Amino acid sequence: MSVLTESSAWKALEAQRKSLARVALTELFTQDPQRFPRLTIEAAGLMLDYSKNRVTGRTLSLLIELAGDADVEGWIARLFAGERVNTSEGRAALHLALRAPADRPMMVGGQNVMPAVEAERQRIGEFARAVRNGSSAGFDGRRILDVVVIGIGGSYLGPALGVDALEDGKGPRIHFVANIDGGEIVGALAGLEPATTLFIVISKTFTTTETTTNAETAREWFMAKGGPADALARHFIAVSANREAVAKFGLDPDRGFAFWDWVGGRYSLWSAVGLPIALAAGPEAFGELLGGAAEMDAHVRAAPPARNMAVLFALMGIWNRNFLGCGALAIVPYDRRLALLTPFLQQLEMESNGKRVTREGEAVDYPTVPVIWGGVGTNVQHAFFQALHQGPDIMPVDFLVARHGAGDAGHHRQLLANCLAQSEALMRGRDAAAAEAELIGRGIAAGEARRLAPHLVCPGGRPSNTILFERLDARTLGALLALYEHKVFVQGAIWRIDSFDQWGVELGKRLAGTILGELAGGAGAEHDASTAGLIARVRRD
């Protein structure tokens, strides 16, 4: 047994689960007419409705107690104070500084990092403005029309999401190349001209093979298509925390952009890693994105747990995962511009909290991160929602929707109606009697209606959160992503894990290096029979 599962709050929550198991979610609303106002919270332009979770006031108090036992408030304070919350790597995780006001000192290792952060912010703005207005042009004086961004993981997902969500059509076209699959860079470069193309190579370490290989291919393409060697520095910009590796690759770190080892890859879009967003949406929008995140930070830092949106959001996840046994969480934004939110959150949540030992290295005896999956509504209603409504597993959903859309008001009303209807349907369900009556209402004979009714039954009682906001703009997106970052951190604190390392991804990378050598004709290494067999089959002429 661990400190967590031994705690009195944990045990009382186990008992709560049993006593709530047979209560219909709808019944909780009947019992408490104030449930909606009580179980909703607003901050930084977002409204979180968590009332469609199987919780009572007592459950909430116990969950808050659980957060108290884990010293969540203390961990939030340590995060903001720049302490080494990434314990296994001995680092701070101060991405919050990247969006903080310049005049408010943020300390890492006794040093105020804000002057360096602000200087880089200014450079990002100037560079983006110059490319967008054409004053920073290609080697033959023509305007930059295309930007190819090369990076993977946190050096891709955040910028790609931001560009998709916020681009205003007044900047260059942005193309992303992440995968080592050669088709990706070939596709991105098709039809481009070196003189009007800018390459931004983003990598915290600058040692990620996908990124360095793609950057090398891009450089070869540039030269092969007639780009002069002395224009390389103008057309290739690095964004990295590793100056030496940038220089070794042959790029000038001083012409590129810096960020710091206290910024985790999946938390880096707020730094120069977000440069593609500034190019696509404008530096002002990038500033708004940071401002929205800073507003959420201020709320999370100051609000007590019971009135703290990130803590409450995290606790709903803990309840569903650890007590109701839900192994998956679907993310369903009703906005096509948020199509990349799910992959972004997959990395944020699963790379951060996909851990099986505590900060002290003890095996946990409780599940940690659920599978994060999802897709854009309404499309996914016609794909996987069937399983959400009638499948054997209960999979909670985060619904996200704006009151006002970007396009036609009539379309948006339909989008909203669908979003709100889905969470209602998941919660209310449809019993056999209602199903039968519905069939009879459609003119189906009573016997046939009885036979078909079980197929129409939706058990209901399926939990969801809804995040509602005015409109999807830069400020809202900033607040939204910051909310999820804080939620992940709070859950990590309760699970007593290090949310900022990612040792698990390294083993596969190392083995790929060994196998790469073998596929290129090198000596065989020791493998299991399956892997050895596959290598031999691939090598067979």
Binder to ligand F6P among 100, 152, 232, 397 (CB under 6 A)? 152
Complex with ligand F6P: residue 189 or 215, whichever CB lies closer = 215
How far apart (Å, rounded) are the C-alpha atoms in residues 92 and 111? Answer: 12
Cβ-based nearer residue to ligand F6P, 204 or 219: 204
CB atoms within 10 A of CB 473: 20
Q: Does 154 bind ligand F6P (CB under 6 A)?
A: yes
Using the rule CB under 6 A, which residue among 81, 421, 505, 536 binds ligand F6P?
Answer: 505
Using CA atoms of 202, 207, 211, 215 in order, give the dihedral in degrees to the nearest 10.
90
Position 211 contacts ligand F6P (CB under 6 A): yes
Least Å from the CB of residue 509 to ligand F6P = 8
Name the residue nearer to ligand F6P (CB basis): 258 or 449. 258
Among 208, 271, 381, 499, binds ligand F6P (CB under 6 A): 208
**Residue 212 Cβ, how far from ligand F6P at the closest point, in Å?**
9
Residue 351 falls in the annotated catalytic set: yes
Are 211 and 150 contacting, i.e. CB atoms less than 8 angstroms apart? yes
From 351, 436, 486, 487, active-site residue: 351
Radius of gyration of the chain (CA): 25
Query: Catalytic residue among 382, 455, 506, 526, which?
Result: 382
274 binds ligand F6P (CB under 6 A): no
Using CB under 6 A as the binding rule, whether residue 214 contacts ligand F6P is answered as no
User: For this structure, is 27 an active site residue?
Assistant: no
- Residue 353 is a binding residue for ligand F6P (CB under 6 A): no
DSSP 141-165: SPPP-EEEEE--GGGTHHHHHHHHH
Rounded CA gap, 176 and 156, in Å?
Answer: 7
Kindly indicate which of the ranges 103-111, 152-160, 323-331, 382-390 contains the residues binding ligand F6P, using the contact rule CB under 6 A.
Answer: 152-160
Query: Does 354 sit near ligand F6P (CB under 6 A)?
Result: no
**Within 13 Å of residue 367, how many CA atoms lie on the same side as its CB?**
16
Q: Which of 138, 172, 265, 274 binds ligand F6P (CB under 6 A)?
A: 265
Residues 248, 250, 253, 256: is their CA dihedral positive or negative? negative
Token output for 57: 């006031």
Give the residue from 499, 269, 466 showing the smallest Cα distance to 369. 499
Residues 349 and 356: their CA atoms lie apart, in Å, by 14
Candidates 88, 205, 378, 418: give the one binding ligand F6P (CB under 6 A).
205
d(CA 230, CA 246): 17
- Tell me, by CB under 6 A, how many residues bind ligand F6P: 14
Catalytic: 509? Answer: yes
Q: Which residues bind ligand F6P (CB under 6 A)?
A: 152-155, 203-205, 208, 211, 265-266, 351, 502, 505
